[in-house]
Amino acid sequence: MLVLKFGGTSVGSVENIITVKHIINDGNRKVVVLSAMSGTTNALVTFSEYIAETESEKALQCITTLQALYSETIQQLFSNHILKTEVIAYVGTVFKTLETAVNTKHTLVLHNTIVAQGELLSTFIFSRFLQQEGLNARLLPALDFMRIDKNNEPDNFYIKQNLNRLFNANPEADIYITQGFICLDAEGEISNLNRGGSDYTATIIGAVLEAEEVQIWTDIDGFHNNDPRFVNNTKAISNLSFDEAAELAYFGAKILHPQTVMPVRALDIPVRLKNTMAPEAHGTLITNTIHGEGIKAIAAKDNITAIKIKSARMLLAHGFLKKIFEIFERYETSIDMITTSEIAVSLTIDNTTYLDAITEELERFATVEIDNYMSIICLVGNTIIYHPDTPNLFQVLQDVNVRMIAYGGSNNNISLLVNTSDKLETLQKLQRYVFEAEPIVV
């Protein structure tokens, strides 16, 4: 069994929906996980925010515009009158329900129910389209099997039992379509796996089914060696290890949801990143096998806050780090980078929800300095910290204002903290020296 996930752009236009049909129509049995059509989740989030702000007019305007896009797509996609009528009725009910939500009390469950509609719409439309085209496909509702536990981790036992039950009830299909991103929480309420979570859905399903391979189809030909939004001449990377992919996904490479490789890594199920717009391109294959050496890729993550915690009493004292970590633990705030000196600790976080409370607690025993608008630039490659060319990196960076460096935390990663205003220049400089110029680093 294969699991194929298609992102928002892949199902975001009539042309691309037809392309996806061709890609999946190869006679192999598969599960197809779909995102919402591109722009839909953002629009639904905005809609939900307007409801929270009791901006009813703006909220209604937002979904009217969205509904018009759906009407147009349906008109172009369906020639079968019965199926077209069925899809129009379904989409109409979804938008009617959204409309009635406008004047209700805004809660987390309401928000999650609203943002779930994108995947519910795309999968309904796509499954009926496949039916029109004569493909043997079944829609398996994700809310009938995908659930997270109290710690927001996939409830694998529940997922396996229920997914198998659904397969057994629909044994004759070739293609099983389901929603990415959405799930139930431990209380049985609608929830989700966070933005971009459809990738994670695909690998959770892949692991449960012990799939041959999980394919993530997007609009770029795999992981690139630098961020193509900021740097020219980036190249797709053909092979990555799970470790390398996990570091890149976490530290900013937008192509993959950070948790994607977790479910499949221990089972050694390959993850292949493919481009719907260029299906013949190799893409990136992520496995346990290590390929190449030296710096393989560079990625950047914004919205980082650096916290410097300084205590005169840290000198020769023990237990200082424990005290600090306990505070972050209590506020469920994870730390990304950390460096220490004898009298101070600098660390970074990306979730500032509890920053004020954390600062207040830290200030009881230390002085605290906070720097916002920082970016982590992450360099990834198998055992890069031992590579003979890696020290040259510091020469390259001599005129970049680096606030922190994490070197040696893992063998595959070097992280630099810079002001976001210096990010572009740093990425471009690294690109020139690492991948283009005289071979400072192979």
Chain residues that interact with ligand ASP, rule: CB under 6 A: 7-8, 35-36, 41, 118, 180-181, 195-198
Instruction: Measure the CA dihedral 64/68/70/76, to 10°.
Output: 170
Radius of gyration of the chain (CA): 24
Q: In angstroms, what is the minimal distance from the CB of 404 to ligand ASP?
A: 30
Whole-number Å distance between alpha carbons of 403 and 418: 6
Q: In angstroms, what is the minimal distance from the CB of 223 to ligand ASP?
A: 17
Which C-beta is closer to ligand ASP: that of 111 or that of 403?
111
DSSP state of 236: B
Whole-number Å distance between alpha carbons of 418 and 304: 10
**Residue carrying the six token digits 């979570």:** 197
HSE at residue 168, side-chain half, CA atoms within 13 A, is 6
Q: In angstroms, what is the minimal distance from the CB of 180 to ligand ASP?
A: 5
Which C-beta is closer to ligand ASP: that of 195 or that of 330?
195
Residue 32: name the closest of 251, 180, 181 by CA: 180
Residue 169: name the closest of 204, 139, 132 by CA: 139
* Beta-bridge partners for 406: 415
Which C-beta is closer to ligand ASP: that of 8 or that of 258?
8
Q: In angstroms, what is the minimal distance from the CB of 94 to ligand ASP?
A: 15
Whole-number Å distance between alpha carbons of 288 and 292: 13
Alpha-carbon torsion (248, 252, 256, 261), positive or negative? positive
Which C-beta is closer to ligand ASP: that of 154 or that of 381?
154
Q: In angstroms, what is the minimal distance from the CB of 119 to ligand ASP?
A: 6
Q: In angstroms, what is the minimal distance from the CB of 173 to ligand ASP?
A: 23
Q: Are 282 and 271 in contact (CB under 8 A)?
A: no
Which C-beta is closer to ligand ASP: that of 197 or that of 283?
197
Which C-beta is closer to ligand ASP: that of 78 or that of 217?
217
Instruction: Measure the CA dihedral 348/349/354/358, to 10°.
Output: -20
Which C-beta is closer to ligand ASP: that of 198 or that of 284?
198
Q: In angstroms, what is the minimal distance from the CB of 39 to ligand ASP?
A: 9
